[in-house]
Structure formats: structure tokens, C-alpha cells
């Protein structure tokens, strides 16, 4: 431990990272701790982190505004891929960790640090996401993971440690949820949520209105995409931060984006999480609607398979992997014509399609109409069916002959 002279800590101001600063200084003698807090659009949570980090023993703190690159370099690629983990989780924590770890590496190199530290537990996925990013970008840096080393065994123990060291933390034993927030989502784990039989209490939700309390009148919204990327809401061109902020507000007001999932963690156990994803849920739905209109059958179906693998890579912390980069190339090729306008109806937690159009639409009314048309010869279908069904016909003939020979 004596060879560690300077550490850069991923700092949020929450319970775990607040107690890590004095713990590092106690256990790595004469070690300088530099805190790095990533602003990913989590709002007013960052107002007190500077003062808190210094009071907790950090020599310096960096607060890095990463919201715009977070959206454009991590969220948009995942959205274009249509990647959703296990059908529900929109990966809000998963792709936040690589950009945080990348900033840690950059600051560690700038400061001449020996190691980076993080507050992820030994039971969770985040330890993998942080550390794989460091290994991919700066394999020479040492990694300190206090939850795998110290005697603290629970959040209650951590709260007691904080109290003994006069460290204020935004968690109490009365509300001991583990939360992660950024502009894309807010997650909740722990406490009564650890039992899958317990329904989330209404006071869990801090972003989204519950569907029961949402307005009795539907809200309509139009979202414009250019090559798979959202660029405008209700006819107003917006930058990425403003666009997602607006959709978060619309979705939250209408009870959109609450997901409750028992998911398979990478480390082998199941965990229960409740996620609030108002803007993200709207964007995923709208993007999918436009793909229905603009992608051919073979591409759409193959992309569905790619989306599953892409989601696993992001969830598993393999953001900086050759496979994810290669899949990005495939996804970008599929998005060349995913341009157009989608209209949605938001009502009490539901998203309902209300129209879509694109200059690259593959929908041709002349071919699909039930009325009279001059572009489709229905007699052609007979030859198609004969050829398409030929393998089935040959197999049936073989079975018939085989049965005869065995009689």
C-alpha cells in the first residue's frame, strides 16, 4: 500500500464515496486523494459536492461537465442500436460508468496519480464497468476498490462510519435506497425493493409522476430524427441536452418510463431495480416506430439480434471493446434512412403511436391496399408459395415414401 502516493477517486457526494476519502487516507498512509465528480445532468445534486469533498479530506476536486458528450457519444449510439437489457432496462447506469472512468483516467494522467478508486461494491456490475474501462485506456494504473477490502459490510455500517467521521451524507437508515441519477435515468435499489414481492411505494419516485396522478387528458408530442438521431421536438430544433430535458419533462408529467425489473447481474446473481426513464422511454418508442417505416424486413430482424448483443456489451462494461465498435459500424449503416417524424400520444404511463412519416418510407399504399390496384398481380403469389413451400413438400413426400418402405 505504501507505493500509492496519489489516487483519483470517482466521487458522487453520496454515501459510499463520501466515506471512501477518509478510509483511503487512513489505509494508504500519506496518500493524496483527488476527487472527480462527473456532471451527467443529475441536477442540483452537485451543488454541495465541492465543499463536501474537501471537508471529507480530498486535496482537490474536479467537477467535469460531461452531459453533452454523455448524450451524444454514449446514449445516442445505444438508442440507434435499439439496445435494451432484458427487455426493460435502458442502461442508464451502464453507459454512464465508461465515460466517468474515461475522465478518471484523463485526470489521473494529468495529475500523475498512481491509482484510481471507485465506490462500487463487490456484488455489483459497476466495479466491472469502471475497471474494464481503466484496463482498456490506462492498464498501468492501479485500481482500488474499498468495498472489496474494508470491514464495512452494509450501507448501515457505512452510515455509522460517516457519522463517526462527521461526514454528512444524503442517506439515512430510514431511506437507505441506493440511487444513481443522470439526465437519462434515476435508479433505485435496496431496502424494501430487495423483495420482488414488494410493490414500489409512491415515495420512491423522484422524477416521474405515477400514472394514477398523471393528467386525465393525453399529451401529443412530435419527434424528428435525422439518421437515427433525435433533432427536434414539436417542430423546434434543439441541441441534445435541451431535447432530452424537454422529453424528460413531458414524460415525467404523464407517468412515462417507470420500469421494475428483476435483472441478471453480470456477477451471477439476480437483483431488483426500479428505474425512472421518462425521456428515454419516449425516444426508444419513437425511434422504433421510424425503423418500422424505413427498414426492410431482413435488416430490421437482424438488427433486433444485434440489439440484444449490444445491450449485453454495454451492461457488461465492454464499451471500449472491438466488438461494440464493430457493431456501431453496422448500426450506423442501418440508420442512413432512419429520418423522419413520429407523433406519439402520452397518457397515464402509456405511449401510443399516433403517426409517422419519412421521405425514405418503404410503406407503399398501392401494394398493400385492399382496394383495386394496378401494381400487384395477386396471381404471382401462387408461384411464390410453391417455391417457398417446396422444402416442406419434399419432406412430406420423403416421409410418405419412408412410411411405405417400412410397412
Residue-wise pLDDT tens digits, 289-348: 999 999 999 999 999 999 999 999 999 999 999 999 999 999 999 999 999 999 999 999
In this structure, the answer to whether residues 165 and 234 fall within a common structural domain is no
| C-alpha span between 68 and 380 (Å, rounded) | 53
pLDDT above 90: percentage of residues in the chain: 81
Q: Considering the candidates 56, 97, 155, 356, report the single residue annotated as catalytic.
A: 97
pLDDT for 55: 87
In this structure, the answer to whether residues 145 and 236 fall within a common structural domain is no
14 is in an annotated binding site: yes
97 is catalytic: yes
272 is catalytic: no
In this structure, the answer to whether residues 154 and 245 fall within a common structural domain is no
In a domain, 364, yes or no: no
16 is catalytic: yes
126 is catalytic: yes
38 is in an annotated binding site: yes
Banded model confidence at residue 167, pLDDT cuts 50, 70, 90: confident
Banded model confidence at residue 273, pLDDT cuts 50, 70, 90: very high
In this structure, the answer to whether residues 30 and 155 fall within a common structural domain is yes
pLDDT for 45: 63
Domain span holding position 152: 6-66+94-176
pLDDT in tens, 337-394: 999 999 999 999 999 999 999 999 999 887 777 777 778 889 999 999 999 999 999 9
Q: Considering the candidates 56, 155, 178, 358, report the single residue annotated as catalytic.
A: 178
Q: Considering the candidates 56, 114, 126, 324, report the single residue annotated as catalytic.
A: 126
Domain finish residue from 176, 203, 226: 176
Q: What is the mean pLDDT of the chain?
A: 94
96 is in an annotated binding site: no
In this structure, the answer to whether residues 48 and 139 fall within a common structural domain is yes
Give the mean pLDDT of 270-297: 98
Domain finish residue from 176, 206, 230: 176
Q: Considering the candidates 16, 114, 180, 316, report the single residue annotated as catalytic.
A: 16
332 is in an annotated binding site: no
Q: Is the pLDDT of residue 173 over 60?
A: no
In a domain, 252, yes or no: yes
CATH code of the domain in which 156 resides: 3.40.50.620
275 is in an annotated binding site: yes
Banded model confidence at residue 171, pLDDT cuts 50, 70, 90: low
In this structure, the answer to whether residues 202 and 232 fall within a common structural domain is yes
Please give the tally of structural domains in the chain: 3
Q: Is the pLDDT of residue 245 over 70?
A: yes
In this structure, the answer to whether residues 191 and 273 fall within a common structural domain is yes
Amino acid at each position: 500500500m505504501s507505493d500509492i502516493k496519489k489516487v483519483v477517486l470517482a466521487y458522487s457526494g453520496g454515501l459510499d464515496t463520501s466515506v471512501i476519502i477518509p478510509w483511503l487516507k487512513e489505509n494508504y498512509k500519506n496518500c493524496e486523494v483527488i476527487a472527480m465528480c462527473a456532471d451527467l445532468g443529475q441536477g442540483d445534486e452537485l451543488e454541495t459536492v465541492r465543499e463536501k469533498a474537501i471537508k471529507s479530506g480530498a486535496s482537490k476536486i474536479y467537477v467535469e461537465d460531461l452531459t453533452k458528450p454523455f448524450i451524444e457519444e454514449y446514449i445516442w449510439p445505444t438508442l440507434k442500436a435499439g439496445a435494451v437489457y432484458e427487455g426493460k432496462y435502458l442502461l442508464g447506469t451502464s453507459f454512464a460508468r465508461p465515460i466517468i472512468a474515461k475522465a478518471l483516467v484523463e485526470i489521473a494522467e494529468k495529475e500523475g496519480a498512481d491509482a484510481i478508486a471507485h465506490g462500487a461494491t463487490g456484488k455489483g456490475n459497476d466495479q466491472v464497468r469502471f475497471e474494464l474501462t481503466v484496463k482498456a485506456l490506462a492498464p498501468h494504473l492501479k485500481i482500488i476498490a474499498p468495498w472489496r477490502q474494508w470491514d464495512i459490510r452494509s450501507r448501515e455500517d457505512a452510515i455509522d462510519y460517516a457519522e463517526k467521521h462527521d461526514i454528512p451524507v444524503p442517506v439515512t437508515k430510514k431511506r437507505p435506497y441506493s440511487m444513481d441519477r443522470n439526465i437519462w435515468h434515476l435508479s433505485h435499489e435496496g431496502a424494501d425493493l430487495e423483495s420482488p414481492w414488494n410493490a414500489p411505494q409512491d415515495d420512491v419516485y423522484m422524477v416521474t409522476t405515477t400514472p394514477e396522478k398523471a393528467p386525465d387528458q393525453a399529451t401529443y408530442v412530435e419527434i424528428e430524427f435525422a439518421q437515427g438521431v433525435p433533432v427536434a421536438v414539436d417542430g423546434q430544433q434543439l441541441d441534445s441536452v435541451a431535447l432530452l430535458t424537454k422529453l424528460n419533462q413531458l414524460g415525467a408529467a404523464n407517468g412515462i418510463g417507470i420500469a421494475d425489473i428483476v435483472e441478471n447481474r453480470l456477477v451471477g446473481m439476480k437483483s431488483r431495480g426500479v428505474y425512472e426513464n421518462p425521456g428515454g422511454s419516449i425516444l426508444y418508442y419513437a425511434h422504433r416506430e421510424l425503423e418500422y417505416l424505413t427498414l426492410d424486413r431482413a435488416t430490421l430482424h437482424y438488427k433486433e439480434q444485434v440489439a440484444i448483443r449490444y445491450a449485453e456489451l454495454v451492461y457488461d462494461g465492454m464499451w471500449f471493446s472491438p466488438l461494440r465498435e464493430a457493431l456501431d459500424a453496422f448500426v450506423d449503416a442501418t440508420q442512413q434512412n432512419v429520418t423522419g417524424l413520429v407523433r406519439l400520444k402520452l397518457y397515464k404511463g402509456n405511449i401510443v403511436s399516433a403517426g409517422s412519416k419519412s421521405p425514405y418510407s418503404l410503406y407503399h399504399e398501392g401494394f398493400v391496399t385492399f382496394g383495386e390496384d394496378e401494381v400487384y398481380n395477386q396471381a404471382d403469389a401462387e408461384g411464390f408459395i410453391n417455391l417457398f413451400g417446396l422444402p416442406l413438400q419434399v419432406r412430406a413426400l420423403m416421409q410418405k415414401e419412408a412410411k411405405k418402405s417400412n410397412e
